[in-house]
Amino acid sequence: MRYLPALTTLAIAVFLYSGLGLTVTAQEADLVFKKSTKFNLLTPNHKLATYGIDDPVISGVACHFTVPEKGGVKGILGLAEELSDASLACRQIGPIKFSKKFEQGEEMFNQRRSIFFKKMRIVRGCDVKRNVLVYLIYTDKLIDGSPKNSTSTVPIMPWGTQQAPKCADFLE
């Protein structure tokens, strides 16, 4: 019994160190920059962080998203539940090439936004009629999510001499 507090502390440390408050995805987003939004005297400031990510299935598409990151003591410890606010912009940056078929609303990227049960997700779809890729960013929780979201579209255009593929041909 006298070892219980030490074991509890060790379990919490392992839990926090395991990265449950950090990004958990096959692909890491690249930090572009951060901008402080609230000054904290002794602890890190609250910030807006802008990240870039390439679509892992569709080469030639890049997305940038901005999310708030809490500072303060909870931010240092990774215990702060981040806000659901996020913005998203996706663009064609080269010739579009599909590496495999995908489903409407398929998740392209996710990132934990709190130590427990809250994730930010970026999903993709295809507007078949307009031949446009549609990306949606939102957060969800185990019980309920947030209606806050942002949408970005990427019209599939020819690149150089290459014809524009049809996203409908790559839907499952």
Distances (CA, A) of 52 to 9, 42, 63, 167: 36, 30, 6, 22
Report the pLDDT averaged over residues 18-28.
Answer: 48
Question: What is the DSSP-derived secondary structure letter of residue 159?
Answer: B
The two three-digit tokens of residue 111, written as one number: 């990132």
In this predicted structure, what is the pLDDT of residue 79? Answer: 56
- What is the average pLDDT score of the chain? 80
Which domain does 33 fall in, by range?
4-170
- Counting the structural domains of the chain, the total is 1
% of the chain at pLDDT higher than 90: 51
> For residues 27 and 106, which has the higher predicted lDDT (pLDDT)?
106
Distant-in-sequence, close-in-space partners of 94: CB < 8 Å, separation ≥ 6: 59, 60, 159
Report the pLDDT averaged over residues 122-142.
Answer: 93
pTM recorded for the entire structure:
0.75
The CA R_g of the chain, rounded to the nearest whole Å, is: 19
In this predicted structure, what is the pLDDT of residue 112? Answer: 77
